[in-house]
Structure 1
Amino acid sequence: MSSRTFTVSGMTCGHCATSVTEELTELPGVTDVQVSVDSGRVSVTSEQELSREAATAAITEAGYTITDWPSAN
């Protein structure tokens, strides 16, 4: 299992969090998504390392932007 936490801008409500969660859970191997609208932090657990490209595509599809992608731990 792999975990990745990053920041998404533009989320303001529960609907935003749901949209982000739905798009990310469609990615292969993703098993859990936790979204904090207040902080903009999104944590994803997956069976393999989540690529920035895949996450960016999913977040863009939901209508938002990744603003911080910290190095993997």
Structure 2
Amino acid sequence: MSQKYYHVNGMTCEHCAKAVAEEVNDVLGTQGVEVDFATGQMIVTGEGFTDAAIKNAVEEAGYHVVEN
């Protein structure tokens, strides 16, 4: 199992983080998601998910992944 780190823009509260986590948890291959709205950091754990799928899920929640 691997972990990938992402930065999500626009979250201002715990509800925002929960909305992002719920969408990302639905991505095939994810097994865990940790989101910190204060820092914008998101850690996704799993195997076989793609960056594009994660980005799309975050956008479905109304936020954006910042490119490193």
Same fold at TM > 0.5: yes
**Quick one: percent identity of the two aligned structures?**
38
Give the drift of 1:52. Answer: 1.6
Q: Are 2:30 and 1:30 aligned? A: yes
1:6 aligns with 2:44: no
Q: Distance in 1 between matches of 2:47 and 2:52?
A: 17
Question: What does 1:25-64 align with in structure 2 at a 5 Å threshold?
Answer: 25-48=25-48, 50-64=49-63
Residues paired across the two proteins, number: 68
Does the CA contact (< 8 Å) of 1:6 and 1:41 recur in 2? Answer: yes
Structure 1 Cα separation of the partners of residues 67 and 16 of structure 2: 18
Q: Which amino acid aligns with 1:27?
A: V
Corresponding residue SS for 1:60: helix
Superposition TM-score, scaled by structure 1 size: 0.86
Structure 2: which 5+ residue stretches go unaligned? none
Distance in 2 between residues matched to 1:64 and 1:7, nearest whole Å: 10
